[in-house]
Copies of this chain bind each other. A is one copy, B any other.
Amino acid sequence: MYEVYVAARFEAAHRLLGDFGPASRMHGHTYRMEVIAHGQRLQEDGTLFDIGELRQMADGLAASLNYRDLNEVPDLAGVNTTAEAVADYCWEKLAASLRDRGLDSLVVRIWESPDVYAAREDALD
């Protein structure tokens, strides 16, 4: 089994809804988004998937969240912006472009700091 990985970054504010102590106050993070695509076979050109193309997808998505208050991003309206929920959102956005491209599954990790992340991993059916 093969995998390819790219990382991108966005710097955003947010606040959690509910009883999350200090995380319920407006604060922010230098987010790191890691994207990992899995597949069974390399293509004839020696790639699983063009890393340059994967990077453009990740960079584009990160740019849409960069220098934003996540609670104000239209696509996240009504979402409690936990790291899990942001991973969920990014997973869906990226999966939409990665299905039917010879890949089996996709992981998206959202790091809020070097010591904390949440991730979603699912098949690309």
Contact = CB atoms under 8 A, between A and B. Distances in A.
A55 B114 CA distance: 13
A3 B69 contact: no
A25 B68 contact: yes
Contact of A23 (B12, B18, B52): B52
A32 to B, nearest CB: 9
Given A118-B5, A119-B5, A80 B27 contact: no
Contacts of A117: 4-5
A102 interface: no
Interface in A90-104: none
B83 A120 contact: no
Contacts of A30: 28-30, 112-114
Given A28-B29, A42-B88, A69-B26, A11 B113 contact: yes
A48 B47 CA distance: 32
Interface of A: 1-9, 11-14, 18, 20-23, 25-30, 42, 45-48, 50-52, 55, 66-69, 72, 79-85, 87-88, 109, 112-122
